[in-house]
Amino acid sequence: LGLVYVPTGNSAADYYSALRSPEENKVSSAVVAIDVKTGSPRWVFQTVHKDVWDYDIGSQPTLMDFPGKDGPVPALIMPTKRGQTFVLDRRDGKPVLPVEERAAPTRTDVPDDPRAPTQPWSTGMPRLGVPDLKETDMWGMSPIDQLYCRLKYRRAKYLGEFTAPEISRPWLEYPGYNGGSDWGSMASDAKAGVLSANWNITPLYDQLVRRKNAAALGL
């Protein structure tokens, strides 16, 4: 096809997008197909809009012939840190299996950095993941440890996946930025019809700090 498939990250800082240009936001946390003859992008498929969760794509795309109604489709399998696996037609970047835009939390106290109102979900592939966190999921070696974790959970902002970053208080990110499929990617066994995936999950406790406060804290 004369294409190179490039998984992208996002420009610094990972958790603050107000400094990014519209061009950077368009191709962040995406698969970009580049024409080998011209060096120009042929198509872009974004897995996270206006990413401030460090959900950059650490995995390599897996290329395979995917069974279709009219015969095999030249496909690209793109696993993500979210545990979402996108199956795309590698000729034009269009989803082979259904993808839908779902409403995402937008409430934030970060000035001049609004969040995207929707995010893409791969509804046609099983998700590598678990339900949203609950207070009863908090764990500790002792009752005191568990109580401390529960207190931290209650003090944090958490509205499920895509909870927007905050300055005034911590927020929980789940799956974390080492979650889902990261550098390990996936392997395809065409004969067996099996995809093998490496998968991680780690809740993270984050908080944005203003520059002047970071200096005062000696960070």
Q: Which residues are catalytic?
A: 54
Element (H, E) at 152: helix 143-155
> How far apart are the C-alpha atoms of 9 and 29, rounded to whole Å?
5
Neighbour-count burial for 52-80, b at 16+ CB within 10 Å, e otherwise: bbbbbbbbebbebebeeeeeebebbbbbb
Report whether the peptide linkage leading into residue 41 is cis, meaning its omega lies within 30 degrees of zero.
no
| φ, ψ (nearest 5 deg) of residue 211 | -55, -45
The DSSP symbol for 124 reads T
User: Is 48 within 8 Å of 175 (Cβ atoms)?
Assistant: no
Strand blocks (E) in the chain: 3-7, 30-35, 41-46, 62-66, 73-79, 85-89, 99-103, 118-122, 171-173, 186-189, 194-197, 204-206
**Which two tokens mark 28?**
């962040």
